[in-house]
């Protein structure tokens, strides 16, 4: 057995294995002021017992491949697709192995060809430009505004500057939804295909309609930090029968397996050769993944209500706190939007930074919050996957320096709001923000 001598407190010989440095002692907590009761902000929603039991039964039988089932009707993947399409109001759903795959397939299924220019928000997650690059396309970024949504004026200018653009991959970053009617109209006038990244906007509605209906297709994610948690997973949702069929075949419906997609249109003559015309990219969702998602779809509305109630209480707390309200901007959603907030987003106001001596106060504020147990995600950090400067695989040279987005993300944070935390745990976030804002920026 391997020695565990490194656990010993006795001195070790110089000739023995190299010493392992002891862990650095944690800094002493502040003597006064609020602290976070919990610090496990990356905790994710557990799988319901029904999903666990279903998954175990499938493993016992070995029924893990969606096309193992004789007609497709019996497949958990079909059940999951039907449930999600019914929830969002889409006609068709194709389950795949990740949200990024869903975005990639949306581009391919919509007929966006390799080499085409595809626009997207400058403030988004790196998976979005990655999907565009994966499709062999060139990314052109559009500025994001103070509300974290795509900047309408810059979108208009970018469409004029790039009349050969083929598509806009619009990201509803962190569930923030912009002026969808105006965006759709601009894209239609420019002959640009609108596709939606709904990874963060499951449950979000615009004028009473679920997100993902303004574009030709959308992608939804079931990655662990989303409202649906299967570790990895995704869906292409669309009302277009041809896009749906192409997405299914591209995802891996080889030979006659498209017949087993029971929520897709009947196999028409024009679809008959798709299985040989299109490559099999093997991006399918497994029956095992679907089995743990089915009961989660059924509880979406109840969980969304809990998120909304706690978010509203937290925002009210921050806005009622003098120091936090003076230093931190929490943008409101558009009146047309019925939001879902599983994360608090805010931006440090420029006048607060000026009072505190400049940009260095951003790091000081983050450190002060961390000392009280509050972990915050600075979107503009040098390692953050939401900072467009870090996307060397899809450089922003063609788009220019993007100064408005760059300024915004250097001052903007995200704080997760796990459902496993109590209401008091969530409200404590506001207390810490207020205390640290007073400490760093004054009142």
If the chain, 443 residues long, is cut into consecutive pieces of 10 residues, what is the mean pLDDT of each piece? 30 35 51 91 93 97 96 96 98 97 98 97 97 97 97 97 97 97 98 98 98 98 96 97 95 92 76 88 98 98 97 98 98 98 98 96 97 97 95 81 95 97 97 98 89
**The two three-digit tokens of residue 383, written as one number:** 């390692």
HSE on the CB side for 291, CA within 13 Å? 20
- The answer to whether 174 and 414 are in contact (CB under 8 A) is yes
Phi and psi dihedrals of 344, rounded to 5? -95, 125
Q: What are phi and psi of 367, to 5 degrees?
A: -65, -40
Per-residue pLDDT at 29: 65
Is residue 437 within 8 Å of residue 328, measured between CB atoms?
Answer: yes
How far apart CA 336 and CA 345 sit, in angstroms, is: 19
What pLDDT sits at residue 398?
A: 66
* SS3 state of residue 57: helix
pLDDT tens-digit map of 226-282: 999 999 999 999 999 999 999 999 999 999 898 899 888 776 676 778 989 999 999
Identify the DSSP state of 379: T
């Amino acid at each position: 057995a391997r020695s565990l001598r490194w656990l010993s407190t006795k001195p070790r010989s110089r000739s023995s294995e190299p010493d392992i440095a002891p862990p650095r002692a944690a800094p002493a907590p502040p003597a006064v002021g609020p602290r976070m009761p919990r610090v496990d902000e990356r905790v994710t929603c557990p799988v319901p017992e029904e999903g666990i039991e279903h998954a175990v039964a499938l493993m016992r039988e070995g029924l893990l491949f969606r096309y193992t089932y004789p007609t497709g009707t019996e497949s958990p993947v079909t059940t999951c697709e039907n449930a999600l399409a019914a929830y969002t109001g889409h006609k068709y759903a194709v389950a795949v192995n990740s949200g990024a795959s869903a975005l990639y397939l949306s581009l391919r299924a919509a007929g966006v060809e390799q080499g085409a220019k595809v626009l997207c928000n400058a403030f988004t997650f790196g998976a979005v430009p990655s999907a565009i690059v994966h499709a062999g396309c060139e990314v052109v970024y559009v500025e994001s505004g103070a509300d974290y949504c795509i900047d309408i004026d810059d979108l208009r200018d970018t469409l004029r500057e790039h009349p050969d653009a083929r598509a806009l991959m619009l990201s509803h970053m962190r569930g923030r939804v912009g002026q969808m009617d105006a965006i759709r109209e601009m894209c239609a006038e420019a002959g640009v295909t609108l596709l939606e990244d709904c990874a963060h906007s499951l449950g979000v509605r615009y004028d009473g309609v679920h997100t993902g209906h303004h574009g030709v297709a959308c992608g939804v994610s079931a990655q662990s930090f989303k409202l649906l948690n299967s570790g990895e997973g995704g869906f292409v949702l669309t009302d277009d029968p041809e896009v749906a069929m192409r997405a299914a075949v591209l995802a891996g419906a080889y030979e006659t397996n498209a017949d087993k997609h029971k929520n897709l249109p009947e196999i028409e003559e024009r679809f008959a050769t798709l299985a040989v015309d299109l490559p099999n990219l093997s991006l399918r969702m497994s029956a095992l993944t679907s089995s743990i998602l089915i009961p989660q779809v059924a509880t979406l509305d109840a969980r969304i209500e809990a998120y909304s109630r706690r978010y509203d209480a937290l925002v009210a707390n921050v806005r009622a706190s003098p120091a936090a309200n003076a230093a931190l901007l929490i943008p409101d959603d558009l009146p047309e939007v019925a939001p879902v907030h599983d994360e608090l987003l805010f931006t440090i106001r420029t006048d607060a930074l000026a009072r505190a001596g400049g940009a260095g106060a951003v790091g000081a504020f983050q450190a002060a919050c961390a000392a009280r147990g509050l972990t915050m995600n600075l979107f503009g950090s040098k390692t953050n996957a939401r900072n467009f400067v870090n996307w060397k695989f899809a450089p922003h040279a063609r788009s220019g320096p993007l100064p408005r987005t760059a300024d915004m993300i250097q001052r903007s944070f995200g704080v997760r709001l796990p459902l496993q935390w109590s209401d008091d745990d969530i409200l404590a976030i506001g207390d810490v923000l207020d205390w640290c804002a007073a400490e760093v920026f004054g009142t």
